[in-house]
Amino acid sequence: MMNFNSKGKLQRKINSDGYSLIEIVMVIALLGLLSTVAFPNFKRTMSKYKLEVAAYELAQNIRLTQQKSISEGIPCKIVFDLNQKNGYQMLSSGRGKFIKLPSGVFFEWTTYYEVNKTLSFSPSGAPNQGGTIAIMSGDNTLYVIVSVATGRVRVARVPPKR
């Protein structure tokens, strides 16, 4: 299409209806570069999230087992599966519930290995022993710590001093 400006000179109209091939290729290359940087971060973040969820759920289930022991007036326990390292069982009155850890999350070690892999609570709510359960995902580890006398449960990023 030919246009003339106000002085009568021929003026070409530039078509601005779309994008050039070079612009599209540059945008795709830039998106590819950004995704190679962001995707490993996403995987690492998801791994940390799964680990935190597993650690806090374990702490919550330990508290629940302790409360059940107090309210029902019977011993209740949690047995850790240290062969598969991916779950634990909550036992009360001969009934049990198996809890599986999220995929990629495992038990690294626990001090309850010494007492048949079992954390038990008396009807008073006192644990059979205080201890630590280390849970790992990738190169991250969280520690679920049970206090000796009170049975207080907390999650920490560093192991307790022995």
**Structure confidence at residue 3 as a pLDDT band (50, 70, 90):** low
Beta strand residue intervals within the chain, DSSP E? 2-4, 10-12, 76-81, 87-92, 95-100, 106-110, 118-121, 131-137, 140-146, 153-156
Please report the DSSP string for 40-61 in residue order.
HHHHHHHHHHHHHHHHHHHHHH
- Does residue 14 sit within a domain? no
* CA distances from residue 55 to 7, 70, 146 in whole angstroms, order as listed: 77, 23, 13
Q: Which pLDDT belongs to residue 16?
A: 64
- Does residue 38 sit within a domain? yes
- Does residue 94 sit within a domain? yes
- Does residue 105 sit within a domain? yes
Q: Please write the tens of the pLDDT for every residue from 30-63.
A: 998 887 776 767 777 888 999 999 999 999 999 9
Q: Which pLDDT belongs to residue 124?
A: 92
- Does residue 3 sit within a domain? no
Q: What is the CATH number of the domain that holds 96?
A: 3.55.40.10
- Does residue 9 sit within a domain? no
Domain count, the chain: 1
Q: Which pLDDT belongs to residue 74?
A: 94
Q: Please write the tens of the pLDDT for every residue from 107-142.
A: 999 999 888 899 999 999 999 999 999 999 988 999
- Does residue 11 sit within a domain? no
Rounded (10°) CA dihedral 65, 67, 62, 154? -170
Say whether pLDDT at 89 is over 70.
yes
pTM: 0.75
Say whether pLDDT at 87 is over 90.
yes
Range of the domain at 76: 19-156
What value does the mean pLDDT of the chain take? Answer: 88
- Does residue 87 sit within a domain? yes
Q: Is 22 exposed, middle or buried (0-12, 13-18, 19+ CB in 10 A)?
A: exposed
Q: For the residues 6-27, what does the mean pLDDT come to?
A: 74
